[in-house]
Chain A
Amino acid sequence: MLSFGALGFTAPVLLFALAALPILWWLLRAVPPAPVRRRFPGIALLLGLRERDPESQRTPWWLLALRVGALAALILALAGPVLNPQRVVPGQGPLLVVMDASWASARDWPRRIERVSRALDVAQQAARPVAVVALTAPPVGAVEFRAPEHWRERLPGLTPRAFAPQAATDWLDALPEGIETLWISDGLARDSRGALLAALSDLGPLQVFEPATPVLALAPASFSGDTVSLTLRRSQGPAQDLTLLAIGRDPAGIERDLARQPVAFAAGERAVDIEFTLPPELRNRITRFQVAGQRGAGAISLADDSLRRRKVALLTVRANSEALALLSPLHYIREALADSADVIESASLDDLLLAGPDVLVLADQPGMTEAEVEAVTEWLNEGGLLLRFAGPRLAGAGLNAAAGSVATRGEDPLLPVPLRAGGRTVGGAMSWGDPRSLAPFPDDSPFTGLPVPGDVGIRAQVLAEPGPDLAARTIAALADGTPLVTRVSRGAGQVVLFHVTANAEWSNLPLSGLFVEMLDRLAVSTRGSLPQARELSGTTWQPEELLDGFGLLHRADDRAAVSGEALAPVLAGTTPPNADLPPGLYAGAAFRLAVNATNAQTQLTLADWPAGTPIESGFAQPELPLAGYLLALAAALMMLDALATLALGGRLLRAAGVAVALGLAGTTPQLAQAQEVSPRILEATESVVLATVASGDAQVDATALAGLQGLSQALFLRSSVEPAAPMTVDIERDELALYPFLYWPVIETSPILSSDAYARLNRYLRSGGMILFDTRDAEISRLTGGTTPAGRRLQRIAAGLDIPPLEPVPADHVLTRTFYLLADFPGRYRGGTLWVEAAPPGAERAEGMPFRNLNDGVTPVVVGSNDWASAWAVDETGMPLLPVGRGTTGERQREMALRFGINLIMHVLSGNYKSDQVHVPALLERLGQ
């Protein structure tokens, strides 16, 4: 192969032909285009005229260039040009393909697979054994070297995992000497890489395939107030514009983008902070953050229960005191929490605890029974937050032993600190001081950082008994050091006491914005920070949904639960997620935790390979054969040449006209087809059309059609039904929905229908169509016997039909009175039994009614054997076609046959109308009253 830079030729010898191009130029130049001969009388005026451009005596230079260019393209195409020719190094010995297959590989996974596939191709040509090892799913035991075909089948099954590769295990030790390694790297440095690299380098040559595209890692979100902040990091790369999506379920439960934020990386910038400012309603719904258009678990950050709305239970005042709303101790709490939490209220503590609240608020309610205290304590131990407010009753509880409560001094387990009875009042009319203001919040307090407004004044408070742990339990204090808010842990939960009232009675704290922020901090802090290892110990967590390497969530209910001890280091970021603990959502007893593929500790430094390692940096341009393009170019140039030659000869317009005419001629038939409408359908929709089913026997079909003609004629004359000419339908092909009634003469050779036709027929019957089966054999069509050939055929045909149970037509069936009153249903023969849909079993004749109240619908099929069509049949002049019976009796029979037909069509068209006529006397009687 000859190559110039990125261009190579597989057959370079042919390039010598390019030397002939100048000769061609010279040849072509001498030969102008052939002239057009024209007779022209005005030639006398032309003699002696010269063209303006003497050069045009020769072939114009651009036409020459066109032709030479076409030929050059042809020569180049035949020389087999290839862009970016791949140097195929056959290599020797077994080939080991090591794939990182981590979350960082997911972004361009198909190209990695393609690279492996290419390596397999090469190995296959050299008949080398191959082993493919995904480091995130290392083989158990020794690596098996197999034929490339074996691995080719398994390539599509290789997927990246959502965690980083594990340190090599025993498979590395079992590798034979003299293997060649192709390492499909994800481009990130990690500790486990060094040992593996050293081991593989010792075994044989090592080649690395590594992308140059940046790896994105989205760290878990952190929340402060209304802002959700995330950090998107990347390994390297030029300026890049991305979009970060906050995805969650809308109120209808449909997953959609709740918010989006542009992310702009400057060139070389490694990390960008993104902040979402979201109303709590939206924030509570977010399930994950995702970089739009980026594949891979690294571009996803799952959000867990720390975003959820708190459920806050308010114990309403039990006494039926009709206090004003603004005086209600719960009013300000309700207002403060309404936007950010689900508030439930009840006067029953049991009800509230049953609802499983995150927070229970007790405002100045000291009196609790022992059972209640026990229940609350149990709830606290499971992780609840009890938020209490002081008040006159709490202050007075210690004084009044007769209150019957256990809230005596020092012993109340539901108070963070023991309280001194009575409390104190400052800044009142009878006191000596001003209202006390707040001291700045201490550093270890959950309120740290909240600004203390100067206008908040405390006029009264309950005081804590001094004790050794009072200072540790105080999370907010007044300027004089007395505690304002105290907190203590109880089991997994905690108890917080505001030493003032929840309303504005003792202080104006509830009126300030600080109050809302404090409540927010407290409510959020219930689950806001990640659980500590201490809290996790002894718990179990069931994986609910797990991330795959591409960043898709999969149900994982079948996975074994993990222990809290194992989860803690992963959450803390000290241990990366691994195969035993993949990224995903883990459900605990009360809430869910998200383990993300990456966190703030995940390293995003580029892998550092020892000097001399051949690295296919980035994704080398794939080998691209150019012969096809050059051939197309040559063909296009030749077409241009043809057009140019026509233009030079002044014949271009005419040629274009011919081409347009040909194009038009080609398109017109399609236009004609689009207009086609079946006249048959049009005709059938014009009016009522009776139809007969083709039986395959021409004589029978003709008689059936003539019979329907006769029936249509009789209907036209005697009733308001005015049918159009009857039609013959082909069950297999024609649309049945257009016909209300099908007459189906069954003969011995009637075709058995296809399953498709059965489906259509059943649909027809269910949607209100009616079929009259006529075996035409005068035999008693007792279907149980199946005595005649036509009868047996009918059984076979009807086997596939959705036909209800049948019975011989009862004497009071509506068919006997839809138009004429009939006792018998003769056709050309008489006496055959007529079968219709069986009446419901419970039908009884009502008192005073001539008929039973039978089935409400129209029977979908009527089965008989009396050859009605022959009795109905008329010729073109409207005269009877076939003889029926003898003499006047026969004519009477024909008349009865026609009356049956009319009754039948009336039954089809008007349904159970006549059946309802039974009720007319009753209706009239009722109207009379």
Chain B
Amino acid sequence: MSQPAAPLLRRHAEALSGALPPLMVAAEHLANSMLPGAHGRRRIGPGAEFWQFRPSAPGDAATRIDWRRSARGDDLFVRETEWQAARAVTLWVDSGAAMQFSGDKSRDSKAARASLLAMALALVLLRGGERVGLAGAGLPARAGRGQAELLAYALTKEAQPEGEHGALDLHSAPAGGHVVLFSDFLGDLDHVEAALDVAAARSMRGILVQILDPVEEDFPFDGRTRFESMSGHLNYETLRAADLRGDYQARLSARKDRLALLARQSGWHSTTLHSDRPAAEGLLWLYHALGAGGR
């Protein structure tokens, strides 16, 4: 899409902007289910929320003395507030063709679910005053309502599949920030491990969110079947698909374990979400995991 003709460009633009409001609306809807607001750091620091009174010590400025509290007794008290700080959260959604899979027409594809979760999380975070960026799209972490529009645009644009799994590059993510990775992690895990090494080196913490379709968990196939990858590069033929179910599920379980191990080694969280479950469940978990991770 280097230099598309004007009509083509316009059609793409319309298609994209057409997809934008639904994602925004759905994500807003999802985000509204969360209690918005800045999250305290459970530490003394600059912020609006009351944290504690402490007896004033020499050196405290007179302006910091809380006279209403001090008037109840003989001692002088200083009112301390909780430290509330904005974080930089970098999201990454796997844009590979594998994410376009949906086991049932009535279900969202994994990519759609991942985008929805990412966008909703972004909205919640942005409302809380955090800075949110999108890795892979070159969208640096910024705060503000305008960032939401940009994120939504980038997420819908990334819905164009490129290869089986998207490339993960965390070099541009702000150091010390948080990272949330959405993928099915069915591709090569070495890339993920390398990315996590980079993140660890830059003292980033984060969450691995594996999004799976129930079909991928249950493997409900039987008889002679020819499996093809979503991009069509790979294929595999079996005469009795049902025979493979046990082996497949064992491998999937091993992969989940390895993913959890990777996360634990880096002090990250990991979870597996399914596209047939309500998105709000996943969002709630993400929000709390992120809060806990930031503590």
| Residues of A in contact with B (beta carbons under 8 Å apart) | 32-47, 49, 51-53, 56-57, 647-651
In angstroms, Cα B251 to Cα A51, docked, is 15
Residues of A within 8 A of B221 (CB): 38, 650
Among B234-288, those with CB < 8 Å from A are: 234-244, 247-248, 251-252, 255
The answer on a CB contact under 8 Å between A40 and B227 is yes
The answer on a CB contact under 8 Å between B234 and A47 is yes
The answer on a CB contact under 8 Å between A37 and B228 is yes
Complex partner residue of B239 from A32, A37, A42, A43, CB under 8 angstroms = A32
The answer on a CB contact under 8 Å between A49 and B248 is yes
Residues of B within 8 A of A46 (CB): 227, 236, 238, 244, 248
B184 on the interface (CB 8 Å rule)? yes
| A contact face: mostly helix, strand, loop, or mixed | loop
With known contacts A38-B226, A39-B229, A43-B229, A650–B186 Cβ distance under 8 A: no
The answer on a CB contact under 8 Å between B227 and A651 is no
The smallest beta-carbon distance between A44 and chain B, in angstroms, is 6
In angstroms, Cα B164 to Cα A41, docked, is 8
B225 on the interface (CB 8 Å rule)? yes
Complex partner residue of B229 from A32, A40, A49, A53, CB under 8 angstroms = A40
The smallest beta-carbon distance between A911 and chain B, in angstroms, is 71
Residues of A within 8 A of B148 (CB): none
With known contacts A41-B216, A43-B234, A33–B224 Cβ distance under 8 A: yes
Residues of A within 8 A of B7 (CB): none
Residues of A within 8 A of B238 (CB): 46, 49, 51
In angstroms, Cα B2 to Cα A59, docked, is 52
In angstroms, Cα B234 to Cα A43, docked, is 8
Complex partner residue of A41 from B184, B247, B255, CB under 8 angstroms = B184
26 A-B pairs whose Cβ atoms sit less than 8 Å apart in the complex? A33-B223, A33-B224, A35-B237, A37-B225, A38-B228, A39-B228, A39-B229, A40-B101, A40-B216, A40-B228, A41-B186, A41-B216, A41-B229, A42-B186, A42-B216, A43-B227, A43-B236, A44-B187, A44-B234, A46-B238, A47-B234, A49-B248, A51-B238, A51-B243, A52-B240, A649-B224
Complex partner residue of B223 from A37, A41, A42, A650, CB under 8 angstroms = A650
In angstroms, Cα B243 to Cα A39, docked, is 18
The smallest beta-carbon distance between A41 and chain B, in angstroms, is 4
By Cβ-Cβ distance, the 3 closest A-B pairs, closest first, are A650-B222, A650-B223, A41-B98
The answer on a CB contact under 8 Å between B244 and A51 is yes
Residues of B within 8 A of A33 (CB): 223-224
User: What is the chain A residue whose CB lies nearest that of B243?
Assistant: A51
The smallest beta-carbon distance between A47 and chain B, in angstroms, is 6
Residues of B within 8 A of A45 (CB): 186, 248, 251-252, 255
In angstroms, Cα B239 to Cα A32, docked, is 8
User: What is the chain A residue whose CB lies nearest that of B238?
Assistant: A51
Complex partner residue of A56 from B164, B219, B239, CB under 8 angstroms = B239
Complex partner residue of A36 from B184, B213, B226, B235, CB under 8 angstroms = B226
Residues of A within 8 A of B239 (CB): 32, 51, 56-57
B230 on the interface (CB 8 Å rule)? yes
User: What is the chain B residue whose CB lies nearest that of A54?
Assistant: B239
User: What is the chain B residue whose CB lies nearest that of A647?
Assistant: B223
Inter-chain contact count A-B, CB under 8 Å?
Answer: 100
In angstroms, Cα B118 to Cα A889, docked, is 94
The smallest beta-carbon distance between B214 and chain A, in angstroms, is 12
With known contacts A42-B248, A45-B252, A649–B223 Cβ distance under 8 A: yes
The smallest beta-carbon distance between B167 and chain A, in angstroms, is 16
Residues of A within 8 A of B248 (CB): 42, 45-46, 49
The answer on a CB contact under 8 Å between B229 and A37 is no
Encode B203-214 as 1/0 by CB contact (under 8 A) with A. 000000000010
The smallest beta-carbon distance between A651 and chain B, in angstroms, is 7
The answer on a CB contact under 8 Å between A52 and B228 is no
Residues of A within 8 A of B228 (CB): 37-40, 43
In angstroms, Cα B234 to Cα A45, docked, is 12
Pick the most buried of A37, A42, A43, A648: most chain B CB atoms within 10 A of its CB.
Answer: A42
In angstroms, Cα B255 to Cα A24, docked, is 46
The smallest beta-carbon distance between B107 and chain A, in angstroms, is 14
With known contacts A41-B186, A46-B236, A650–B225 Cβ distance under 8 A: yes
The answer on a CB contact under 8 Å between A36 and B223 is yes
The smallest beta-carbon distance between A680 and chain B, in angstroms, is 47
Pick the most buried of A34, A36, A53, A649: most chain B CB atoms within 10 A of its CB.
Answer: A36
Pick the most buried of A44, A57, A647: most chain B CB atoms within 10 A of its CB.
Answer: A44
In angstroms, Cα B241 to Cα A576, docked, is 84
User: What is the chain A residue whose CB lies nearest that of B223?
Assistant: A650
In angstroms, Cα B215 to Cα A445, docked, is 104
User: What is the chain A residue whose CB lies nearest that of B103?
Assistant: A40
The answer on a CB contact under 8 Å between A651 and B223 is yes
Pick the most buried of B187, B238, B242: most chain A CB atoms within 10 A of its CB.
Answer: B238
Among B89-104, those with CB < 8 Å from A are: 98-99, 101
Among B108-145, those with CB < 8 Å from A are: 110
Among B146-177, those with CB < 8 Å from A are: 164
In angstroms, Cα B203 to Cα A137, docked, is 122
The smallest beta-carbon distance between B213 and chain A, in angstroms, is 8
In angstroms, Cα B221 to Cα A39, docked, is 12
In angstroms, Cα B184 to Cα A42, docked, is 9
The answer on a CB contact under 8 Å between A38 and B227 is yes
Among B29-81, those with CB < 8 Å from A are: none
Residues of B within 8 A of A32 (CB): 224, 239
Residues of B within 8 A of A38 (CB): 221, 225-228
With known contacts A43-B235, A44-B186, A49–B247 Cβ distance under 8 A: yes
The smallest beta-carbon distance between A176 and chain B, in angstroms, is 77
In angstroms, Cα B31 to Cα A71, docked, is 66
Residues of A within 8 A of B216 (CB): 40-42
The smallest beta-carbon distance between A58 and chain B, in angstroms, is 8
The answer on a CB contact under 8 Å between B244 and A49 is yes
The answer on a CB contact under 8 Å between B240 and A53 is yes
The smallest beta-carbon distance between B273 and chain A, in angstroms, is 15
In angstroms, Cα B215 to Cα A52, docked, is 22
Residues of B within 8 A of A651 (CB): 223
The answer on a CB contact under 8 Å between B241 and A650 is yes
User: What is the chain A residue whose CB lies nearest that of B232?
Assistant: A39
The answer on a CB contact under 8 Å between B223 and A47 is no
Residues of B within 8 A of A56 (CB): 239-240, 243
The smallest beta-carbon distance between B235 and chain A, in angstroms, is 7
Pick the most buried of B187, B213, B236: most chain A CB atoms within 10 A of its CB.
Answer: B236
The smallest beta-carbon distance between B92 and chain A, in angstroms, is 18
The answer on a CB contact under 8 Å between B234 and A42 is no
Residues of B within 8 A of A52 (CB): 240, 243
Kindly list 4 other residue pairs between chains A and B, CB separation below 8 angstroms, not including A36-B224, A40-B228, A56-B243: A37-B226, A53-B240, A56-B239, A649-B224
User: What is the chain B residue whose CB lies nearest that of A58?
Assistant: B239
In angstroms, Cα B247 to Cα A45, docked, is 9
Residues of B within 8 A of A44 (CB): 186-187, 229, 234
